[in-house]
Amino acid sequence: MFARVNQVTRHLSRPTLRTGGQLLTSRSTMAAPGGKKQIHTAGIIIIGDEVLGGKTVDTNSAWFAKYCFSMGINLKRVEVIADDEAEIIEATRRMSNNYDFVVTSGGIGPTHDDITYQSIARAFNLPLVLHEKSLERMKRISKPRPGQEAFSWDVDSPARRAKMRMIELPYDKEVPDEDQVIFTSEELWVPVSCVNSNVHILPGIPRLFEAMLTGLKPRILPRLVDPEGKGVHRIIFSTPLPESEVAEYLTQLSAKVADKGVKVGSYPRWGKSHNSVTLVGKDREYMESLVDEVAKGVKGRRVQKEGEDDDDGSDKDA
């Protein structure tokens, strides 16, 4: 009997996600102070045909990578997908299951191809709900654009319907409103819509994307392994040697520092006079103790940024 009870207990304690009838084993469930799950890993989904078609250059994933690095969050995956419902459903379900902190960028505007909200709602079996608080903020904060001088919130029109489409959010009535519709700035009406506790839906406009994630940071920090958000440290070395000359040393160094959580990287800089070697990790004191050894091993020196000691532009092999 006790064995049966233990089996049932283990089954009920195994966290799952709702994904259209499928049960998926969840990511780590270790709780941070306040009952929220700790954030160790992250993923970002860039949504937009214009990115895949080369019309727009994605800068949000690079900015998000720096954001995660600065707080010590391990960014595990960056994906770019089309404005396609099936693609959005599959990617958000999978990434929500695999990573603690998931961000989407793009596809929440007023036009027909902005389908992120409806697709993510369908991914997690949620209704789309006109969020009244967001509507109030939109009315108060947003300003008519050129050509919309005659626009009225009191008169039904295609423009009014298009605007209101941007605040029809995936909504779970069992979750507190403040945990799924998050306003990150008094100056913005656009909310961060949070679905399934870890999928954060953001606009693709870089200025808004960056401002909203910056505003979200106070909610993220308490859920980190290091709640002070000291992040990860990177030490860069410049070497005049080609990678083939330092490969054996770096292999030995990597094995030596692995148990300290330090990663060794090597980056050829085509057409430049120096290549780069990096140490990345959280144990700054230990990493600093390696500086002289690594500089000697690669016959180079520590630098603050790549390229600061380039001179003749000679190529180094990869």
What digits encode the pLDDT tens for the residues 1-53?
Answer: 334 334 333 333 333 444 433 444 445 556 655 557 899 999 999 999 999 99
Same domain, 179 and 298: no
Does a structural domain hold residue 136?
yes
Q: Which amino acid is at 147?
A: G
Same domain, 250 and 114: no
Sorted by sequence, the CB contacts under 8 Å of residue 266 that are 6+ apart come out as 243, 246, 247, 250, 275, 276, 277, 278
Same domain, 84 and 54: yes
Rounded Cα gap, residues 139 and 35, in angstroms: 34
Q: How many domains does one find in the chain?
A: 2
Which 8-state DSSP code applies to residue 75?
Answer: E
- Give the rounded percent of residues in the chain with a pLDDT score beyond 70: 85
* Residue where one domain finishes, among candidates 223, 249, 273: 223
Task: Assign 228 a pLDDT band (cuts: 50, 70, 90).
Answer: low
Does a structural domain hold residue 6?
no
Same domain, 249 and 190: no
Does a structural domain hold residue 3?
no
User: What's the confidence (pLDDT) of residue 15?
Assistant: 37
Same domain, 137 and 53: yes
The tens digit of pLDDT for each residue in 156-190 reads 888 888 888 999 999 999 999 999 999 999 999 99
Does a structural domain hold residue 317?
no
Same domain, 130 and 80: yes
Q: Nearest-CA neighbor of 268 among 291, 244, 304, 302?
A: 244
Give the relative orientation of helices 116-123 and 85-98 as an angle to the nearest 10 degrees.
60
Same domain, 217 and 250: no
Instruction: Answer whether residue 290 shows pLDDT above 90.
Output: yes
CATH code at position 181 = 3.40.980.10
Rounded Cα gap, residues 82 and 45, in angstroms: 10
Q: Which residue has the higher pLDDT, 91 or 312?
A: 91
The tens digit of pLDDT for each residue in 116-131 reads 999 999 999 999 999 9
Provide mean pLDDT across the span 53-59.
93
* Residue where one domain finishes, among candidates 193, 223, 253: 223
Does a structural domain hold residue 202?
yes
User: What's the confidence (pLDDT) of residue 18?
Assistant: 42
Does a structural domain hold residue 207?
yes
Same domain, 121 and 198: yes
Task: Give this prediction's pTM.
Answer: 0.78
* Residues 48 and 204: beta-carbon distance below 8 Å: yes
Same domain, 198 and 257: no
Same domain, 191 and 241: no
Does a structural domain hold residue 75?
yes
Which residue range forms the structural domain that includes residue 80? Answer: 41-143+156-223
Does a structural domain hold residue 310?
no
CATH code at position 249 = 3.30.70
Highest mean pLDDT among 10-14, 214-218, 229-233 belongs to: 214-218
Q: Is 239 left (phi over 0), alpha (psi -120 to 50) or beta?
A: beta
Same domain, 199 and 267: no
Same domain, 287 and 193: no
Give the relative orientation of helices 206-220 and 60-71 as an angle to the nearest 10 degrees.
20
